[in-house]
Structure 1
Amino acid sequence: MAEGQNISLYYKGSLNPSTMEARELIQVLSAFTRLTTKANRAYHGSTARTSVRIERVQPGSLDLQWIHEVAANAQTAFAALPALSFGIKDVAGLIKAWLDLLKFLKGQPPQKVQNVTNGTALQLENVSGQTTIVNGNVYNTFILNGIGTDAEKLELPAKHGAEKLELKSRGHRIGSYSKSDLSNFKPIKPKDKPIESEIEAILEVVAPVLEGDGMWRFKYGRTSITAKLTDEDYRQRVIDGEESFSHGDRLHARLKTIQENLGDKISTKHFVTKVLQRK
């Protein structure tokens, strides 16, 4: 039995959808479907079986509606440790948090990322010197899923007269983005210096490395990552046989992520700096 949630994009202004090429409308539909799917997987974790279907495309101001579904018995990845959820209650809330980040960052990578506490909160500084505090899990899933690459397609209706985009959940507006906000929906890539963050996270062990300095394989939500274990005390316990693992074991750990620009490619590296608890 699957449960669904209605999520919609509502473009307002002097938009004339008939001036949009079919290709542009398909790009908007495809981009938001990808965002919805990524949010569904990030929120519900690796055991979720998800599907997305387009429920209605309404002419006029352009009202695009999606229904996303998830298996009713799926467990949220963020809820694995309640303190990590930081107010994110559903998939629509995660999408809003991602779009709000794009709005805040103004199309540029953060100038500074700092830990606020020993938990998952991060303080970001944007290109204008403004600061905001965000959930580290929201930020990491935002970076790892390349949200700006999909979201930049949401600006297309603004080129045909749309002045505002409203994000709705179950018919209620939960986010509003002006034409200038939409122009800043861009891929966020490191430039002159790496983008670094360190948060508490729940990591599902896929393949531990018991010898040497090899990279462990984990699932972070539904994202597969490799990470180097730099917690020397924990590494020694593994080497001494005090810790044993099986597929699916979870670690509550501090996860450090570093993104940097290497020529034409973006390099993303992960480090488990401290194992706090076996889950």
Structure 2
Amino acid sequence: MSSDMAEAIRGKAEPTELPAGSPGLFISLNHIASIALAHDVPGWKVEREALINGIIPKRYLRSMNSITANDQLKLLDSSIAQVGLGGLGGTLLEILLRTGIGRIRTADGDSFEESNLNRQALSTVHSLGAHKASAAINRAAEINPSVECEIATQFLDATSLPTFVKGADLVIDALGGLETRLTLQRSAAEANIPMVTGALAGWTGYVGVVQPGQTGPADIMGSDNAAEVILGCPAPAVSLFASLMACEAIKILTGHTSSLESSMLIVDLHSHTFEKVQL
């Protein structure tokens, strides 16, 4: 980064009290946006430079120290390839935008219908009939314009998935149904990229982490969507499983070991049971 940009960041820094009670400096999102525009760079690069200089972007103050400044730097430097913008995908996108992942690439060829309103975070009565990808673009700009978002309005398959995941630090399987999950898992493995995956039917679901070459849930779950179709996807379950997936994504991107590698966390919200199964 140029010394001019670092100087501009320091010039806009303001004093604050950090969550632990110690003094610190922050920079507001408006100043980040103006500096990014002046230097023709995405906002996440300004935020990164601020953190290097000991200045915390104000939007991340309430994450400290659960996500440390060093962790936040790693997240800003990260790139995610997420497939799916429905129930899990829409909630995941919102969490990851708020967390401050620097670059997010995502795709979904579907459009909103009324039956999505019960659980899909990107759906509203005003977006019915619109592409989910279009809603994702608008939501990303509203939540965190510092994040670089590349959003495709298409369904991905065995031909397009390898190109889509290429260059990402992490793949996220937020697909609806089971048909394409094994293809996505194999595409991530061939690109040597770890993957976070999750699915649910009714009040039960799973979350897993698949390192390249490991067995994953898609190897054993098959492709029959009957359970999801019959049991549906209630909003509390969607939110929980998306949150669990986001936690694993953050662990991996910040260099922490996930306890779900080569395993599945199976959750039943009716009985409140959490069981980890080795694959």
TM-score of the aligned structures, taking structure 2 as reference length:
0.24
- Structure with the greater relative contact order (CA < 8 A, sep ≥ 6): 1 or 2? 1
Kindly indicate which of the two structures has a greater share of residues assigned to strand.
1
Kindly indicate which of the two structures has a greater share of residues assigned to helix.
2
